[in-house]
A and B are shown apart, each in its own frame.
Chain A
Amino acid sequence: MGRILLILRLTVRDLRRRPAEAVLMLLVIGVATTTLTIGLALYGVTDKPYQQTRAATAGPDVVASLQAGPGQSAAPVGVNALIHASGVTGHSGPYPLASTMIRARGRTAYVMAEGRDLAPAAVDQPKPTRGSWVRDGGVVIERSFADALGVHVGDQVTLGGRSFRVIGMAVTAGLPAYPGGLCSMGCASIPASWLHSSTSPTPGLVWLTKPAARSLATSAGSLSYLLNLKLANPAEAQAFVIAHSSDSPAAPILSPWQRILDVDNLVVENAQDAMQVGGWLFGLLAVAGVAVLVGRRMVEQTRRVGLLKAVGGTPGLVASVLLAEHLVLALAAAAIGLVAGWLAAPPFASTGAGLIGTPGAPSLTVSTVVIIAAVALAVALAATLVPAIRAARTSTVNALADAARPPRRRAWLIAISARLPVPMLLGLRLAARRPRRAVLNALSIAVTVTGIATILANYSYLARHFSSGVDDPRIDRINQMMVMITVMLVVLAAINMISITWATMLDARRSSALARALGATPEQVSAGLSAAQVLPALPGTIVGIPAGIYLCDVLRHGALTIPPLGWLLLVLLGTPLVVAGLTFIPSRLGARRPVAEILQSELV
């Protein structure tokens, strides 16, 4: 009991003594946990809006895509077998589905035009949210597609060369909302040329009267049919699909409603991916940042460790004190991340205009809480364990003499540096004194550059594959998110960089003062401190660029995209420059400290 009290007391004292470091630590872990929380909270946010839309539109349980029979007006193949299958309690259709082009507000896009009855259908009756349902000469546009095109009720649009008036916008649960990809439902009438075109092959959806839709089909191949089925037990939709599917090329392609939901979920899935990858990158940055803070603290605390041990503290107690403090901070950061992530998630969770109803509040499940807490603790442990064990094991005498962490000696580096100009000589030797810190520095830069390179590669991927004139809400959302992640990456990396430089500067106080006593100018010393940060940043940058391109490749499932060379060069050259800039002020301050005072104060 007394022991725990002692550990607590020492922890609280120490936190109070160094509030700035505690805040920095909360910040770096907090950013990582916030991002991860957003990523985790986006699981299944579309479920609820989809269910609401399904209820409001009498959504089908199974949708069948049927090929047109031979001859323009022949009935589609296989309708009877489906509507009389056991378990089917209702149906609507078959409705003709024609593929054509839409021109609206100067933009052109692929579109599937479904021909519907004027009277409401019992199964899958799209619900107008603006305007009215189909009538002669009028077209109703699926809401998220209308948003992407930027059209409003009352506008004129051209379908297959003929003019129509937009009379409504509607939502449906029977087909995926734009840009989910109607083709994932097996729209038989998609012309092969669409799939190989450079524009987005994702067509939008519009509704017309049946005759109008049929007349838009210019060839037999551009017409197919949709049949909506209601089952006695919607939960058995998947089983029904399996039972009634066939490999024959003429057979209908069946999709259960769960598949439509999955496709609609894709809209947030990219967001989810981005936030989770971002979360892990931030987690790595946090490990580097916390490790630097902890490492620097260990240097300051060696004497305290010695005192604790001198008055009888066991190595276990010493390690506990050091660990306790950082674990407490990590848990606090996890709590902050959970709350902040939960508050920040809704904008990322908005499902677009394809569904009605509000997205379910991003869920904060027990497993999310556990994962986030575990990640935060893991970050703190990863960063603290080694120094804590090392501190616990240092000899008491050494710790009391404050010599627990003598700088490392790298003979070959010292020999090489002797050939270099003075700032490089000082910088290389400084970096070599604390190899762990140099590695953390390189890691921090590598992670940041990886993130930036991923984003650049992804950006050029999107630019290459989705360059149609139509807005894609998925891409808007991803771009928005990438800007946010980039900004946070850079901010975190900057915090890390400054704290690393600061730690180096404090650590190198005596040797810098000595170098100046021996005749180095303040400019040389400060350039040396900056060089000590820039040197590890170089390999970090060089590793980070291909790593980012590879990560994008993995995320995009093998669509290797190399960003323009100019961008890569900018990152390659810009990163060391930014590092030099960031380290300028701390190293300047470090080099300005009065030499005599430092050398005197070290006269233990």
Chain B
Amino acid sequence: MTDNTSVLRTRGLRKDFGKATGLVHAVDGVDLDVAPGETVAIMGPSGCGKSTLLHLLGGLERPTDGEIRLAGRRVDQMGEKALARLRREAVGFVFQAFHLMDELTAVENVELPALLAGRSRRAARAQATDLLERVGLADRAGFLPSALSGGQRQRVAVARALSNEPLVVLADEPTGNLDSAATLDVLQLFDSLRRAGQTLVIITHDSRIAATADRLISMRDGAFVDETKTMGGTRGNLGAFAQLEG
């Protein structure tokens, strides 16, 4: 059964916006299977429905049609409360715009999902500190986002996504707002997550980033048009990228 081998699985997934002449098929019949520990990159032109797909996968938006299963459970039929719990326990989001809370320090941002999940303050803080160390920002724990560089902010956002040990991390153009050096930082971070067995779905415009994934999917007009196994050449590709920068 595919259900048992996929962490994330969709069938005939569709999402429409608007009505009549303004009708947009943002996601138009997507079948996706993501295996545990797999890193999937999704590429495609602007407006082809990548973000919408990601929002559907994470339960931020409800599909017009089709089904989504996360660890075997139907997501598309869940109520608001169950969806909130799903986002809290099974999904971690990383956004292009970071979306950190400006008034919270790095460590306070990272511990937020744990606090929302009802963890004790002490446990949440300890875990957040560990996560910041893991993303290499232990020394910036008390900094406000405004005092961090773009790359550092995104690494804080990744640490936040990892709080509560999600089944899958969904990243929407995580390097879209970053320069090449910062991109490399974040890329290395995702690579380390991949090697640690974290399941990842990354949307990106950058083919060099896509090359670090296990699998690359091309999307156009709301549907998948092409799929490439990148055969795990991550290290090599990253190396090549690093050389380009160097």
Residue numbers of A with Cβ under 8 A of B are 406-409, 414, 418-419, 422, 425, 429, 432-433, 510-511, 514-524, 594-596, 599-600, 602-604
Contact = CB atoms under 8 A, between A and B. Distances in A.
Given A407-B102, A600-B51, 17 more contacts: A406-B102, A409-B103, A414-B103, A418-B111, A418-B121, A422-B118, A425-B115, A511-B101, A517-B93, A518-B88, A519-B85, A521-B80, A521-B85, A522-B80, A522-B84, A594-B60, A604-B97
Contact of B115 (A406, A418, A516, A600): A418
Interface in B70-103: 80-81, 84-89, 93, 95-97, 99, 101-103
A602 B111 CA distance: 23
16 contacts: A414-B104, A422-B115, A425-B115, A429-B103, A432-B103, A517-B58, A517-B87, A518-B116, A519-B85, A519-B113, A521-B81, A524-B84, A594-B61, A599-B95, A602-B97, A603-B97
B146 A596 contact: no
A518 B101 contact: no
B146 A515 contact: no
Interface of B: 51-52, 55, 58, 60-61, 80-81, 84-89, 93, 95-97, 99, 101-104, 108, 111-113, 115-118, 121, 124-125, 144, 146, 160, 164
B117 A406 contact: no
A80 to B, nearest CB: 88
B146 A518 contact: no
B87 A407 contact: no
B47 to A, nearest CB: 12
Contacts of A429: 103
A600 to B, nearest CB: 7
A418 B118 CA distance: 10
A406 B104 CA distance: 12
A514 B101 contact: yes
Contacts of B144: 409
Contact of B116 (A520, A594, A602, A603): A520
Contact of B99 (A418, A514, A522): A514
Contacts of B84: 516, 519-522, 524
B166 to A, nearest CB: 10
A515 B144 CA distance: 18
Contacts of B60: 516-517, 594-596, 599
B99 A406 contact: no
B99 A519 contact: no
A409 B108 CA distance: 12
Nearest to B85: A519
Nearest to A414: B108
Contacts of A406: 102-103, 146
Nearest 3 pairs of A and B residues by beta carbon: A519-B88, A521-B84, A596-B55
A406 B147 CA distance: 13
A197 to B, nearest CB: 64
Contacts of B88: 518-520
Contact of A422 (B116, B125, B146): B116
Given A521-B80, A595-B60, A596-B55, A418 B124 contact: yes
Given A418-B124, A600-B51, A516 B101 contact: no
Contacts, number: 91
Prevailing SS type, chain A contact patch: helix
- The CB with the most chain B CB atoms within 10 A, among A425, A433, A516, A604, is that of A516
Nearest to B124: A418
A518 B112 contact: yes
B121 A518 contact: no
Contacts of A511: 101
A454 to B, nearest CB: 38
Nearest to B112: A518
Contacts of B95: 599, 603
Contacts of A425: 115-116
A418 B101 CA distance: 15
B86 to A, nearest CB: 8
A518 B108 contact: no
A599 B121 CA distance: 27
- The CB with the most chain B CB atoms within 10 A, among A408, A418, A514, A604, is that of A418
Contacts of B86: 519
A521 B86 CA distance: 10
B89 A519 contact: yes
A429 B102 CA distance: 12
Nearest to B55: A596
Contacts of B125: 418
Nearest to B79: A521
A596 B61 contact: yes
A495 to B, nearest CB: 28
A16 B116 CA distance: 42
B154 to A, nearest CB: 14
Contacts of B164: 519
B134 to A, nearest CB: 18
Contacts of B118: 422
Nearest to A525: B84
B24 to A, nearest CB: 14
Contacts of A521: 80-81, 84-85
A518 B104 contact: no
A514 B116 CA distance: 12
B101 A519 contact: no
Nearest to B56: A596
Nearest to A522: B80
A429 B164 CA distance: 21
Nearest to B119: A418
Given A519-B113, A596-B61, A604-B97, A407 B80 contact: no
A422 B116 CA distance: 6
A8 B108 CA distance: 46
A81 to B, nearest CB: 84
B87 A516 contact: yes
A510 B111 CA distance: 18
A429 B121 CA distance: 15
A244 B80 CA distance: 88
- The CB with the most chain A CB atoms within 10 A, among B86, B88, B103, is that of B103
Nearest to A409: B103
Nearest to A516: B84
A55 to B, nearest CB: 73
A118 to B, nearest CB: 88
A518 B102 contact: no
A519 B115 contact: no
A206 to B, nearest CB: 74
A25 B168 CA distance: 49
Contacts of B117: 519
Contacts of A517: 58, 60, 87, 93, 99
Nearest to A411: B105
Nearest to B54: A596
